[in-house]
Amino acid sequence: MLYTRSNFNSASIEHRRRKTHIYTTNHTLTNTIAMNDPGLNTLLKWSIENSAVSETAEPTQPRTQLNPELLAQLMGGPSDADRMISYMQAIHDPSVDHENKGIAWDNFEQLVENLDNANNMEALKLWTPLVEKLESEDTQDREMACWCLGTAVQNNIKCQERALAVGAIPKVAKLCSDPDAGVRKKAIRVISSEVRNYQPALDEAVKYLPEEIVGDGKFDAEDMASVDIVVNGLRERSAKMA
């Protein structure tokens, strides 16, 4: 088709309109997806801030950081949730040797230091296999299970509630009298973290802790001095067992 000036301009305008519509639609869709996906939104912000244009300008505020979880997802690597499941499977796998179980325990504990990961244990169904190891015949398992549990419940009411619900407290209370000093130390740490500011857990703990420590069992979870009476009593008792 041979365009005259008038119909060429008309066709060109229509073409530009279509391109503008497509761009606007895609741009809107991208923004909508980004707003609905925090990870994608973070990636979008990071890419803009680190574009060639941005590199030539002085930054006026701290730049967005990509966390390891997001980077792992972008690169196709395992997420924290995947790793937590994998480590717990290794811990329960009889074919995994003692040294590698220890590494799996260390890695699991480091992951549950993150509040989101600790809170995700319920969805991943990791509470039961963790608590089961409190009764393991292996000293390393008992100690490391206490360590991970103590980390998860520290200043975390959601995990404190979950530990109570899955029956961890009676098992941990028993471990406060374990023959191994390392296990006792970690178990007492669990009690200390689990009962602070959470009265139901404290009430449950005094049912199973030695009577010589808890007496009439009247303690206030929101009174740190009251909680310390129990915790310090357990520590002194443990020291005498050494």
Per-residue pLDDT band for 148 (boundaries 50, 70, 90) equals: very high
pLDDT digits (tens, 9 = 90+) for 101-141: 999 999 999 999 999 999 999 999 999 999 999 999 999 99
pLDDT digits (tens, 9 = 90+) for 176-228: 999 999 999 999 999 999 999 999 999 999 999 999 999 888 999 999 999 99
pLDDT of residue 44: 65
All structural domains of the chain: 77-241 (1.25.10.10)
* Residue 175 clears pLDDT 70, i.e. is over it: yes
Query: Which residues are CB-contacts of 13 (< 8 A; sequence separation ≥ 6)?
Result: none
- Alpha-carbon separation of residue 209 from 131, 187, 230 (angstroms): 18, 12, 9
